[in-house]
Amino acid sequence: MLVAIALLRGAVIGAAAAFFAGLLVDTATLGTLGVSSLLLTIVAYWVGRYGETTGRDRTHAPLLSVVAATVAFTLGAFGLHVMLGDGVSARLVFFESLLPAVLLNTLAATPVFALTSRLLGREDGARAPRGVKLAG
């Protein structure tokens, strides 16, 4: 859902929604406070930038964004837990966590994106985030 919000509304709104979702996840699971918030904020910001700089109406944008976000979140979580000194198994992360997460998230991407775009609605051209202009 956060990827869809970032794709539909832009980087800043996606990052803000992701921060509060990550804070909710951290407090609900009693995990290390701030890890999920940090990772989800960074991932949603870059997904929002992808949506702003390329055509967000492309059919592959939600699927590509979900795969990239899942991989980035998992690798970032692994790196942060290693830096914090938590015991994390690389085999568990890469083979038993990453592959099923990518598959399940990819399967859920299309219906969730359709539902989110129906709930949020499409923005008109005047309010839509503008793309990056190249200088020169």
* Through-space distance between the first and last CA atoms of the chain, rounded to whole angstroms: 37
Tell me the pLDDT band of 109, cut-offs 50, 70 and 90.
confident
Q: What would the pLDDT profile of 1-16 be if each residue is shown by its tens digit?
A: 777 777 778 788 888 9
Which range of residues forms the domain containing residue 99? 2-120
CA torsion 45-46-48-49 (nearest 10°) is 120
Q: What would the pLDDT profile of 26-81 be if each residue is shown by its tens digit?
A: 888 887 788 888 898 998 888 888 877 776 667 777 788 888 888 888 888 888 88
Overall number of domains in the chain? 1
Number of Cβ within 10 Å of residue 123's Cβ equals: 13
| 128 is a domain residue | no
| 87 is a domain residue | yes
| CB contact at 8 A, 103 and 67 | no
| 15 is a domain residue | yes
- pLDDT in the model for residue 125: 45
| CB contact at 8 A, 17 and 44 | yes
